[in-house]
Amino acid sequence: MEEIKRLKRELKFEGSILKFYQDTMQIPNGNIALWDFIAHKGAAAVVPVLPDGRLVMVRQYRNALERYTLELPAGALNEADEPKDVCAARELEEETGYRAGKLTWLINVNTTVAFCNEIIGIYLATDLEKTSQHLDEDEFVDVVYCELQELLDMIYSGKITDGKTIAGILAYAQKK
């Protein structure tokens, strides 16, 4: 494999959870190319399973898609070095009002490898205890309870398209 070398990285914009960069790259044929790069601190997601086997999902509006989506509870790390299981436990309780008695790592997912370094750690949450939601001021999340087969059907019919949700549900279904 021929060497690719970054010559320069320039910050173009800094948002609340992302940093947008333009990288000047020397590619194997000797040419110079400009590549976009989005830096993300990372995130965690949870597959919460009730004793009766139903999964606890969240329904929320996603501005980028201009529609509501059904997803696994998830959120960004507070800091890049925050343990992903700590983030997963926090997001589970904030978004769903459930606390996990046990969290087990399932899978890691790089969300968009072409231009972003985001990695999401996905965990199985069991021994759930009901508490209460603690949503952020700008969050509006409905809790939805679904059977595993119902979610698999939604994945394969194209109703669920969120990558972390698909990866988490399929990983859980495989290990179940």
User: Each residue of 110-137: b (16+ CB within 10 Å) or e?
Assistant: eeeeeebebbbbbbbbeebeeeeeeeee
Query: d(Cα 61, Cα 24) in Å, to the nearest integer?
Result: 36
Tell me which residue of 106, 131, 130, 135 sits closest to 45, measured CA to CA.
106
User: Which of 129, 137, 147, 150 is an active site residue?
Assistant: 137
Query: d(Cα 56, Cα 26) in Å, to the nearest integer?
Result: 47
- Report the sign of the C-alpha dihedral through residues 42, 167, 176, 51, in that order: positive
- As a residue count, the chain comes to 176
Tell me which residue of 150, 161, 143 sits closest to 48, measured CA to CA.
143
Is 91 a catalytic site residue? no
Q: Which amino acid is at 152?
A: L
Query: d(Cα 120, Cα 133) in Å, to the nearest integer?
Result: 22
**Residues recognised as catalytic:** 137
